Structure 1
């Protein structure tokens, strides 16, 4: 039975559906030697190559890891890209990052080959919590934290309400339920702050804890059960 190419790639653990769409749109996916197009349907009889890598037809054993991403590492699915998560960790399996974390930020990334789970965590319609620790260049005013919490106009759109708490003179934590590009940095810049450090410490029930920078650990069975239950 044929299925859409983006779903096929997600089921084979190469990337999420949305990441697959981006790869297809940029001409980096070939099916039977021809550059693929969005919406193309495939099955196991087709030979599929992404970024020069042949996609295995067998569905992989599912893997779930927490990675403490250092500053300077990019969340790319390209194993050959300089400083990508895949090249940094020398991943042998087709694991990919769930969502984005910009190159200047550090902290928690979930790595998996479960495309369906990745889609449920990252799709905008689900509004799952992500928590960050933010350090800025000057003392944080409580009135500015209230503005962040209530919502701000960023690139012409009002941000969703957030939970914000000051925990040091020049540091605060913020919990978002959306994932706009560079959202926290844009909010701080609009209020006159320069972000000096930004670390993601939690995604839903998964916490970074004391995992050292640059290291990974598997999700515990308890974490995985709770995560999947929340995503049902």
Structure 2
């Protein structure tokens, strides 16, 4: 069966289909020894595809739920990192995180080799809601909640309105749909608080559940259906 080259690269976990077009147009991909072009199709079982000097093997798609512990980074190419999430995820497929959690945060992370799926999880245009449990060093005041629910100017950009569920005077759940780097920590700092615990509990309809820290598992078919329906233009 022949498929588009950019889809093959996405399925292999190299990049999203859109980014695949960029690397193809730069002449970085070869098919059977010849430089590939946009629009080329391949037979994954017969054709040899080379990117960055390495042969790309066709992989089945993996969709993994991972409970990230604190102390591990999600940036896989950080040469200075002592521990990355791939130290804990031992599978043969080449995978990467759909989004990120900073080193000091924990909780739900989706690991996949489907570049298109990952880009839709990350892109705020799809407004996939993410819920976090947060514990701060002092009380979250009523005026803080009002500011969070109205949006706060962080680094020149106003945050999208957040939904707050109070659990205790310094503990709460916050639901947002943007993924700017360390955005919750920056919002808390803006309000005069520091974060003690930050744990992602859900992404869209996908729940962390009882999965223990450092453990991972494949999504069930029901969970995949939930995530795919979160962005109906996914194909």
**Which residue matches 1:36?**
none
**In 2: Cα distance, 1:89 partner to 1:114 partner:** 16
**Which residue matches 1:76?**
75
Query: What runs of 5+ residues in structure 1 fail to find an aligned partner?
Result: 25-29, 33-39
Shift of 1:156: 0.4
1:1-232 alignment, distance < 5 Å: 3=5, 9-16=9-16, 31=29, 45-49=48-52, 54-58=54-58, 60-78=59-77, 82-232=82-232
What secondary structure does 1:109 align onto? strand
What secondary structure does 1:209 align onto? coil
**Which residue matches 2:33?**
none
**In 2: Cα distance, 1:106 partner to 1:213 partner:** 8
**Which residue matches 1:35?**
none
What secondary structure does 1:225 align onto? helix
Shift of 1:20: 7.4
What is the Cα-based RMSD across aligned positions, in Å?
2.8
**In 2: Cα distance, 1:189 partner to 1:155 partner:** 12
**In 1: Cα distance, 2:186 partner to 2:19 partner:** 24
Query: What runs of 5+ residues in structure 2 fail to find an aligned partner?
Result: 31-36
Give the TM-score normalised by structure 2: 0.80
**In 1: Cα distance, 2:73 partner to 2:17 partner:** 19
Contact residue 10 and residue 16 of structure 1 kept, 8 A: yes
What secondary structure does 1:140 align onto? coil
Q: Which of the pair has more CA radius of gyration?
A: 2
